[in-house]
Structure 1
Amino acid sequence: MSEPFVRLGNRVKTLAEVKGRAARFASALQSMGLEHGDRYAIVMVNDIGFVEANLAASAAGAVPVPVNWHWTGVDLKHLLTDSGAKVAVVHSHLIPGVEAQRPEGMQIIEAEVPQEIREAYHLGDVPLTGRYPVLADLIEGAEPAVAAGGAPPLAVIYTSGTTGLAKGILRDPITADKAEGVTRFISEFLRMGPGLTTVLPAPLYHTAPNVNMTFGAALGMSLIIMPKFDAEEFLRLVQEHQVDTVQMVPTMFHRMLDLPEDVRGKYDLSSLKHVVHAAAPCPAETKRAMIEWLGPIISEYYGGSEGGAWTYSTSEGWLTHPGTVGKAVTGADVRILGPDLEELPVGETGVIYGRSEFWPDFTYIGNDEKRRSIEAADGFITVGDVGRLDEDGYLYLSDRLNDMVISGGVNIYPAEIESTLLSLEGVFDAAVFGIPDADMGEALAAHIQPRPGVQLTEEQVKDHVASHLAKYKVPKVVVFEEELPREDTGKLFKRRLKEKYWPAKAQA
């Protein structure tokens, strides 16, 4: 078995080297005044330096706060202030944005932007600003730190903020028994383990990729980092490095399936034994097409950044229960609760609540009340999704609770309409949501991204929905967009689309 490595493009370091550099960076953080339990922000694009900065937490006794580097303005200011981070590690091209929004007293460490990132994002030359200590220099000039004071909490992940300002999830320190449970889940369901190779195709500031990176390094896996997802490049990496297992999101499936068949057929993907997806709903047509292409190696789990994974489904489970996101995993439980938090019978739709014995408990930074508001009895929490359980215990998602539209007193779940729109030839993406209506309270609006070169009409869209669903589910307003705003995880930023219809809510 070859020595595990961390790779970005043509740059490669052994995993042992990366861990050693992380320990030296931890020492540098301590010399800058970070104490046990303090937080530091990572404002970086996917990079080997990101891995080093993140892994430094265990030796420094501090808590990393991975930052969505796309955020600017009020979103970024809120995160940097709310997190209480004392230091921010920032790629050079992102420094102006951080400088404009950082709270008083926050120190900055500058990270050089490697060629792979400059090319992926068409940045051109990005020189160091010369205003701050440089990450590489700090690492080279420090001795390895020795961790003290017990295990700190896991990384503080901020929710995507698709419906409002993001919330920082501060977890309890991970105990030995919970670490064992998380490791068991990662081994059994994500199929990660010593000596295996994985690709990290999604942004490392999100929960699942961050967990994959952290535990993959701990397990002695080889990590191949993509600075930005590219469908054909992903296939090339799988073939070249004989990748064993990978975690993806449905948006990546769409992009791979959109490749011409002759392009997809060029690559030998036989090394790939397991592909797991999460984070956003996967249309049934897409899931079935992926299974037909790669075989029954596609699995899925459901949960949230707050509560970890609650359910899991294999390809076989999904094919016999189309549309499911799986059954409760060992150590987890799921309930469907009604308005008075009463448990609903099998088949009835309500709010999904779950709990996990192996995932550390948490609170929202500075908002314990919000944390309490999402909990029912016996430690069950909700991440705001609506769904149902069938007689076999399989869970099905209906929609986000916040996305539900009440029109004329009737509850309408936009996800059902979005799925119908995606089955219309020529539709690449669709977002359905409620807009003000003087008569009905709310009406439905559909924003649609056609496939390149396709011309669709409002009448075609409405007729298609009317032929599949009840008439009250036909959108009143249809808007065609060049591109819909989505997170890198595939989650729709409906808030951005809604703002022009609900200006008062947007301001609030």
Structure 2
Amino acid sequence: MPAIRCGQTIRDYDELRLRAAQVATGLAEHGVTAGDRVAIFMHNDLPFVEVSMAAGLLGATPVPVNWHWKGAELAYLLDDSGSRVIFAHSDLIPTVEPVAGDRLLIEVEYDAAAPTGRHRRYEKWLTELRPWSESPTRAPQSMIYTSGTTGRPKGIVRDATTPEQGAALAALIFETFGLTPGMRTLVPAPIYHTAPNVHCLVGAAAGIDLTIMPKFDPQELLRLIETHRINHFQAVPTMFVRLLRLPESVRARYDLSSLQAVVHAAAPCPPEIKRRIIDWFGPIVREYYGGSETGGCVACDSEQWLAHPGTVGRPIGDGDIRIYSETGEQLPAGTSGRIHLRPPSGWPIFTYHGNPDKRAAMERDGYLDIGDIGYLDTDGYLYLNDRSTDMIISGGVNIYPAEIEACLLELPGVRDAAVFGIPDPDLGESIAAHIEATGLTADQVREHVRAHLAGYKVPKVVVFDDDLPREDTGKLFKRRIRAGYWPADPTSGVQPPL
């Protein structure tokens, strides 16, 4: 019988839907109606799913919140989204209380964290509520805020779907993720992020057997695959790196024969890492590419990737890709430029909450620019160079940090790497590399890059760090690292990249 589980908690779908209906009644009693928003400030947990489903029953929008946020950034999101209610885990209550204002705050018990006793407690609250029995209202997807690489984070608002549109969208998402009905799937990433959120909520709506990891741990992922005979999971490249770091004796301990599909996205995967994952799991690895705004637009399976190493795939369905220059000219195959995507039919129309001009500015001829640089080959396969905001311009030459980072990760002893531009009085920018590594010198790092890439891609500055800051999705917080290299004085004449 399909079920949904997270940590030590497991529910069948009848119980999950009953609890969601009870939450819906509680929200309605507080005045939440269609069009309102409900903030979810929680770790991975089954109440996260219940609250999301409950909001949907009322036509309200769940707003997943990155639980790392605090202070002004958290206050901004709550105010900007207009959330009327906040659900927060007990350990996060002290963080959200100072910015909650007069919003209803529901405290959800979490692991060993002691309840504060200052707010309504989720489990007790549920016992007081009858299930919502009215017909569901057309509901939009979760309103997820982008990471804010440039300026304030932006809330992505999508049109609500009819039941027919919702079914077509679910089929498209299943295809993109490599899921089929009846599979047992696992979500190892934080569900406040777009892809894991969609994976989790669409999977729950479809009633498939669903395992959610409270927090990613490479060996625990292997144990869960064996224990629950998992057929499918979705990962990010950093998870692959950490899985491959496990000793061979540990990796061989677990029976992974139930796996039928592994899908990854969210960040470029170094080719050597992907080859090793395919060698381990078999030719069941699938990749897709898109943005929080566009959904998955491009995909490839293992066979396609091995025939076109480094690609992220070809358009899904009737989706399409164009590459434009900075001056708006469409570029031919083999020439790098700004990637513009046209999502496949069925992906809901979106805008940025409170900022329609920003939405309009990213569109050209019906294609959307999500800020990446890349090129198409003659077979129509897409390759990524880097984020446009990360590109280094040194002496008038465009340099893509992702290429250098992939090279560094192939050097024995390197665990992680962040490459970015720093001020240079002659060249405008030069290359800095911050590296987590064991037993290496800066000269050895430079020699490795020089042996594999052009000389102008060799880092000028090499710094060894104990722990590079990454989001739970695996994306580097580069802005935190490079901020120390760029003058904060606006009169200096040197401006940091956003």
Between the aligned partners of 1:46 and 1:503, the Cα distance in structure 2 is 38
Q: Read off the aligned partner of 1:54 and give its amino acid letter.
A: S
Confirm whether residue 211 of structure 1 aligns to residue 210 of structure 2. Answer: no
Which of the numbers 481, 484, 496 marks the counterpart of 1:497?
A: 481
* Correspondence for 2:354: 366
Between the aligned partners of 1:40 and 1:489, the Cα distance in structure 2 is 23
* Correspondence for 2:138: 151
* Range with bigger deviation, 175-184 or 82-91: 175-184
Q: Report SS of the residue matched to 1:403.
A: coil
* Correspondence for 1:417: 404
State whether residues 392 and 429 of structure 2, in contact with CA within 8 Å, keep that contact through their aligned partners in structure 1: yes
* Cα displacement (A) at 1:458: 1.3
* Correspondence for 2:492: none
Confirm whether residue 84 of structure 1 aligns to residue 72 of structure 2. Answer: no
* Correspondence for 1:100: 98
Q: Read off the aligned partner of 1:160 and give its amino acid letter.
A: S
State whether residues 87 and 106 of structure 2, in contact with CA within 8 Å, keep that contact through their aligned partners in structure 1: yes
Which of the numbers 468, 472, 475 marks the counterpart of 1:488?
A: 472
Between the aligned partners of 1:182 and 1:429, the Cα distance in structure 2 is 36
* Range with bigger deviation, 465-474 or 265-274: 465-474
* Correspondence for 1:222: 209
State whether residues 436 and 442 of structure 1, in contact with CA within 8 Å, keep that contact through their aligned partners in structure 2: yes
Confirm whether residue 404 of structure 1 aligns to residue 414 of structure 2. Answer: no
TM-score normalised by L of structure 2: 0.95
Between the aligned partners of 1:44 and 1:305, the Cα distance in structure 2 is 20
* Correspondence for 1:14: 12
Q: Report SS of the residue matched to 1:384.
A: strand
State whether residues 57 and 137 of structure 2, in contact with CA within 8 Å, keep that contact through their aligned partners in structure 1: no
Give structure 1 stretches of 5+ with no counterpart.
115-124
Q: Read off the aligned partner of 1:477 and give its amino acid letter.
A: V
Q: Map 1:37-436 onto structure 2 (within 5 A).
A: 37-102=35-100, 104-114=101-111, 125-147=112-134, 150-176=137-163, 178-356=165-343, 357-377=345-365, 379-436=366-423
- Shift in CA distance, 191/345, structure 1 to aligned 2, threshold 3 Å: closer
Q: Report SS of the residue matched to 1:499.
A: helix
State whether residues 36 and 149 of structure 1, in contact with CA within 8 Å, keep that contact through their aligned partners in structure 2: no
Q: Read off the aligned partner of 1:223 and give its amino acid letter.
A: L
State whether residues 59 and 146 of structure 1, in contact with CA within 8 Å, keep that contact through their aligned partners in structure 2: no
Between the aligned partners of 2:174 and 2:442, the Cα distance in structure 1 is 48
* Range with bigger deviation, 286-295 or 465-474: 465-474
State whether residues 143 and 157 of structure 2, in contact with CA within 8 Å, keep that contact through their aligned partners in structure 1: yes
* Cα displacement (A) at 1:401: 0.4
* Correspondence for 1:121: none
* Correspondence for 1:477: 461
* Cα displacement (A) at 1:177: 5.1
* Cα displacement (A) at 1:503: 4.2
Confirm whether residue 438 of structure 1 aligns to residue 425 of structure 2. Answer: yes
- Shift in CA distance, 164/458, structure 1 to aligned 2, threshold 3 Å: farther
State whether residues 163 and 494 of structure 1, in contact with CA within 8 Å, keep that contact through their aligned partners in structure 2: no
* Cα displacement (A) at 1:246: 1.1
- Shift in CA distance, 337/263, structure 1 to aligned 2, threshold 3 Å: same
* Cα displacement (A) at 1:327: 0.5
CA offsets, 1:373-421, max 9 Å, x none?
11111x2101100000111110000000001111122211111111111
State whether residues 408 and 442 of structure 1, in contact with CA within 8 Å, keep that contact through their aligned partners in structure 2: yes
* Cα displacement (A) at 1:483: 1.1
Q: Report SS of the residue matched to 1:36.
A: coil
* Range with bigger deviation, 173-182 or 127-136: 173-182
State whether residues 193 and 219 of structure 1, in contact with CA within 8 Å, keep that contact through their aligned partners in structure 2: no
Q: Map 1:436-475 onto structure 2 (within 5 A).
A: 436-450=423-437, 454-475=438-459
Between the aligned partners of 2:48 and 2:275, the Cα distance in structure 1 is 35
- Shift in CA distance, 326/159, structure 1 to aligned 2, threshold 3 Å: same
Between the aligned partners of 2:355 and 2:470, the Cα distance in structure 1 is 27
Q: Read off the aligned partner of 1:68 and give its amino acid letter.
A: N
Between the aligned partners of 2:468 and 2:278, the Cα distance in structure 1 is 26
Q: Report SS of the residue matched to 1:398.
A: strand
Between the aligned partners of 2:121 and 2:28, the Cα distance in structure 1 is 16
Between the aligned partners of 1:219 and 1:465, the Cα distance in structure 2 is 47
State whether residues 56 and 140 of structure 2, in contact with CA within 8 Å, keep that contact through their aligned partners in structure 1: no
* Cα displacement (A) at 1:73: 2.4
State whether residues 163 and 495 of structure 1, in contact with CA within 8 Å, keep that contact through their aligned partners in structure 2: no
Which of the numbers 29, 32, 51 marks the counterpart of 2:30?
A: 32
Between the aligned partners of 1:162 and 1:251, the Cα distance in structure 2 is 19
Q: For this pair of structures, how many residues does the alignment match?
A: 491
Q: Read off the aligned partner of 2:234 and give its amino acid letter.
A: Q
Give structure 2 stretches of 5+ with no counterpart.
489-494
- Shift in CA distance, 150/52, structure 1 to aligned 2, threshold 3 Å: closer
Between the aligned partners of 1:273 and 1:262, the Cα distance in structure 2 is 23
Q: Report SS of the residue matched to 1:382.
A: strand
* Cα displacement (A) at 1:342: 2.0
CA offsets, 1:79-120, max 9 Å, x none?
122111111100011011111233x32221110113xxxxxx
- Shift in CA distance, 435/507, structure 1 to aligned 2, threshold 3 Å: closer
* Cα displacement (A) at 1:185: 2.0
TM-score normalised by L of structure 1: 0.93
